Amino acid sequence: MKIINEIGNIKKAEFVGSYVKTDKCPTDGKPEYAFIGRSNVGKSSLINMLCQQKDLAKTSRTPGKTQTMNFFRINESWYIVDMPGYGYARTSKTMREAWEKMIWYYLTKRETLQYIFVLIDAMVPPQPIDLDFINKLGEKGIPFVIVFTKTDRLKAEDRKRNIENFNKKMLENWETLPPQYITSSERKLGRMEILSFIEQANLGF
């Protein structure tokens, strides 16, 4: 648990529980913001950075470590949901299919879910699996935000090029781009921008 005395910031963050079924998730009706991306995209590090709590979400060098929907209650008023990663993971095809079913049931059926934060690794060229996932969100009408991670590991020109290339691929299927944030868990880049976005979204909940 972490207390931070900053106006409009995270004052309290606590782990609530891990779930594999949507109907077992918290039922208090508070708004939820799910964080998802390819395995090893830096999801847990980003969540820890947002909450300023080093070990709130467990990080691992092993892809596919997150296997459940992990709920963190923020300021007693909303949730961050750490979702299993999609894509490569050292597990069976049957298990990966079970994860996918769990993920999409939650994303399409959860009434308190406000936005999906889709994490994209800024270090690599556009990946078909990311674009396919985003297109599926669009097909199902699920609101989402793009978050570019690991940007501190790139030169500015390389980061700019990779993000521009990703957006060009998105615009092959999209008329406009969704909200986007450039982040670095090491440098805390993008932290206040993301929290401000969530704060504004909560006002309309």
Q: Looking at the domain assignment, is residue 43 inside a domain? A: yes
Q: How far is CA 115 from CA 41, 97, 200, in A?
A: 19, 23, 12
Its pTM stands at: 0.91
Q: Looking at the domain assignment, is residue 1 inside a domain? A: no
What is the distance between the alpha carbons of residues 76 and 71, in angstroms, rounded to a whole number?
Answer: 12
Segments forming the whole domain that contains residue 115: 13-203
Q: Looking at the domain assignment, is residue 36 inside a domain? A: yes
Query: Dihedral angle at the C-alpha atoms of 93, 108, 8, 68, nearest 10 degrees?
Result: -30
Q: Looking at the domain assignment, is residue 119 inside a domain? A: yes
* pLDDT tens for the chain, residues 1 to 205: 443 334 347 889 999 999 999 999 999 999 999 999 998 899 999 999 999 998 898 765 554 456 899 999 999 999 999 998 886 556 667 777 788 899 999 999 999 999 999 999 999 999 999 999 999 999 999 999 999 999 999 999 999 999 999 999 999 999 999 999 999 999 999 999 999 999 999 998 8
Q: Looking at the domain assignment, is residue 5 inside a domain? A: no
Q: Looking at the domain assignment, is residue 8 inside a domain? A: no
What's the confidence (pLDDT) of residue 65? 54
Pairing of strands 78-82, 69-74: antiparallel
Number of domains in the chain: 1
What is the distance between the alpha carbons of residues 101 and 161, in angstroms, rounded to a whole number?
Answer: 34
Between the two ends of the chain, the Cα-to-Cα distance in Å is 25
What's the confidence (pLDDT) of residue 4? 38
Residues 6+ apart with CB under 8 A from 50: 10, 80, 191, 194, 195
Task: CATH number of the domain at 182, please.
Answer: 3.40.50.300
CB 9 within 8 A of CB 195: yes
Q: Looking at the domain assignment, is residue 4 inside a domain? A: no
Q: Looking at the domain assignment, is residue 197 inside a domain? A: yes
What's the confidence (pLDDT) of residue 93? 72
DSSP 99: H
